[in-house]
Amino acid sequence: MTGRPVPAPPLPDGPPPPVGRPPLTWLYVPGDRPEVVAKALGSGADVVIVDLEDAVAPDRKEYARSATAELLGDQVTAAPDAVPVHVRVHGEEDVRALAKLPGLAAFRLPKITHAVSVHHVAAVAPGVALYPLLESALAVEHAYSIASAHHAVCGIALGEADLRADLGVREDTGLDWPRSRAVVAARAAALPPPAQSVFPDVRDLDGLWTSCGRGRALGMLGRAAIHPRQLPVIERAFRPTAEEIEAAEEIIAASAVEAGALALPDGRFVDAAVVASARRTIALAGRA
């Protein structure tokens, strides 16, 4: 042992970290219904997720893959200002069939339990952004190793329906710890905060609003939806309030005048971490 630091191995090629306005709404649509996918692209969702997994019956999988390939091969979906299209794949055949199409923004990987699975997909689809989904107790236990598995990982999320079944959880509060675990793992891996999983009752918009507030309090950012009527509620729930924007502007203004830690006139203590949080608030406010 010489005591000299060992250089880290080079990171594999992968997509750059997401830039621009933070996405808040992620709309799931079944891959075997191209007409619904077309409507979703005009729904106002920040991201459209074409689902080839749970939303598609086994005898429709091949058709769904073919229809999705046609969509992603269209130059309209590949345009720079197009709504990003993610695909939740069912298996490796989907990955191989879709990875090189110009309209693909990312793969969402269901039922990931170990980092090795992420490495495998990254090798099959080099340069494609990956979003592993944690849907079991084992996945939650491995959350950080999955989140940091590969340079291609651009975010993680929970699959709460499967996770709820795996844990035997009946009350929504029973998922607070796995949600917090995902938030911590994402932050530790320098990823954006996870978006909340879908709220299954598309008619209960009050319940959706309350649930989003709970997720936001835990550090989550944005939410997946299964119906366009849920999108405005999610957008409002995760955008900062006027009071939060005003407070953030005050913090940023104060930090521009005096470097380092300082106290505001109302007694609040401000340091670099608080300023960074204020800047994130302003970035979200700019979505309007």
Provide, for the chain, the percentages of residues in helix, strand and coil under a 3-state DSSP scheme, each rounded to the nearest 5: 45, 15, 40
Whole-number Cα distances in Å, 152 to 13, 52, 84, 114: 8, 21, 16, 15
Phi-psi region of 222 (alpha: psi -120 to 50; beta: other; left: phi over 0): left
Any known ligand binding at 135? yes
- Cα distance between residue 55 and residue 39, in whole Å: 17
**Which amino acid would we find at residue 16?**
P
Known binding residue 162? Answer is yes
Q: Could you write out the DSSP letters of every residue in 204-223?
A: -HHHHHHHHHHHHHTT---E
Distance in angstroms (rounded) separating the CA atoms of residues 156 and 124: 19
| Residue of 64, 8, 7 whose CA lies nearest to 33 | 64
At residue 26's C-alpha, the angle toward residues 231 and 206, to 5°, is: 35
Detail the residues annotated as belonging to a binding site. 135, 162
Detail the residues annotated as belonging to a binding site for Mg(2+). 135, 162
